[in-house]
Chains A and B, each alone.
Chain A
Amino acid sequence: MTSVRSGFDDLVTGARNVDFWAFMAHHEVKQRYRRSYLGPFWVTITTGIMVGAIGTIYGGMIGSDAARYVPHLAVSFVLWSFISQSILEGCHMFLEAGGAMRQMKTPRSTFLYKTLYRNVLLLLHNAVVILAVFLLFGVLPGWPLVLLPLGLVLLFANIAWMVLVSGILCARFRDVPPIIMSALQLLFFATPVLWMPEALPPHLSLIMLNPFFHLIAVVRDPLLGHWPDMVSVAICAAMAVFGWIGALGLLSRTRKRIVFWV
């Protein structure tokens, strides 16, 4: 356990730095849309337009029932945006924090919390699109909704370590950001966002190895009124445990040196 101890301490002290990261996250969201009339609701609007356009075009092409396809698309697209945006921002979180790290004593995880919180704020803005689609198509999730908190915990727990690991790797090796960007682009097509998981032909079931397949499923299923697949839940839980052990080990080993890399 000693090998993950200093990383764990860093996470705890970083969490206490809430005044810093919460203000920074809010401030960054606000600053980006300052002097625009709609402010951060531009996030909501652009997502709404994407979902509307893809829903119409792809929904028409695939020929599936709009009442099933569009809610699936809205939830999956919003979740995918959260996942990919968080990880991409994670790539730059330490690189951008170089100046701050060199003038104040601060746990490295402060910047992790800032990145996560900022993306959760954006996720909440995008959740409005899901709500609108549900109202439009009269989607009522029913009882499976009680498992939504479980799905969200699994999603956030996994995204958090992924953001941390990509932050550290990208700070050390400048070749990693483009690698991660390409990998995410590929994974987008291997994740049921534009297509529905039922459409997956058996010979392509290897796609189930894609971790994001399950991370999205555990949140999407309860929202759409399905009980989540326990295999997906188990995979997400295992990923969270092993991912965090690895991430804490990495943070413990590199924590002191990150400031010299950026």
Chain B
Amino acid sequence: MASVLLENVALDFPIYGSTTQSLKRRVAKALVGGAIEKSGSKVTLVHALSDVSLALAPGDRIGLVGHNGAGKTSLLRLIAGIYEPTGGRLEVVGRITPLLDIGHGVDPDATGYENIVLRGLYLGRSRREIDTAMPAIAEFSGLGDFLELPVRTYSAGMTSRLLFSASTHFPSDVLLIDEGIVVGDEDFQARAIERLDGLVGQAGILMISSHATDILERYCTKAVRMAGGRIVATEPISASEGPEVAS
């Protein structure tokens, strides 16, 4: 049974090598959401998340909304276990799949097949799982014999088809998605949305960070609004209202 529990979670992280002149910091503080603070000599400390509490159970479909720098991606990374909280308590039960940057780790000189393996490994899957899934992923990508060729010979659209196909194949209990993963030409987009529907349907808990109202309305039942590393509002989403109404 999947569950995600955060109690007063805080995440601070140090930024090295930034010039910490006070004017710049003030400007930065005004422009981006995160609270920036000077700690010690030359290290800037960013309070990426402060006092975040959230309890999610199977069936929860959360849309994370907020300005750039509000802490959406940090929260997703925290739940994915990439960052560990610097304060508070975090408990996640179930298999997590973070679809954060599905373009990472592409090796242009490796073949399509090899890149599917790479993608699967980056998703934390075993070789056996990947090898079993290979025919289905290859089929869905629709790339056929191109999979034998190095990815550098692909068009941008073909590369994103490959990455999308490999990344969305594996079902998981907790699905974390960072905006903008639906890609490809029109024909592929229709199939991609169908695939995403299936993946989201299988997941116990879904969390999507997105600015796109149609994505949020399609997949989410609740919007969690973030600002300055805190959760400022939780509001229901319905297709007629949209997440913007309560803010």
Contacts and interface: CB of A to CB of B under 8 A. Distances in A.
Contact of A31 (B14, B80, B83, B109): B109
A143 interface: no
A45 B13 CA distance: 47
A interface, by DSSP: helix, strand, loop or mixed?
helix
Nearest to A32: B109
Contacts of B114: 27
A53 interface: no
Nearest to A105: B81
A19 interface: yes
Interface in B161-203: none
Contacts of A104: 80, 82, 98, 122-124
A5 interface: no
A31 B109 CA distance: 7
Contacts of B118: 23, 27
A259 interface: yes
Interface in A237-261: 256-257, 259-261
B77 interface: yes
A24 B121 CA distance: 9
Interface residues on A, range: 20 to 34
A101 B121 contact: no
B2 interface: no
A260 B18 CA distance: 13
B16 A261 contact: yes
Contacts of A68: none
Contacts of A24: 121
Interface of B: 13-16, 77, 80-84, 96, 98, 100-101, 104-105, 107, 109-110, 114, 117-118, 121-124, 126-127
18 contacts: A19-B121, A19-B126, A23-B127, A99-B101, A100-B104, A102-B100, A102-B101, A103-B82, A103-B101, A103-B122, A104-B82, A104-B123, A104-B124, A105-B82, A105-B96, A105-B124, A260-B15, A261-B16
Interface of A: 19-20, 23-24, 27, 31, 34, 99-106, 256-257, 259-261
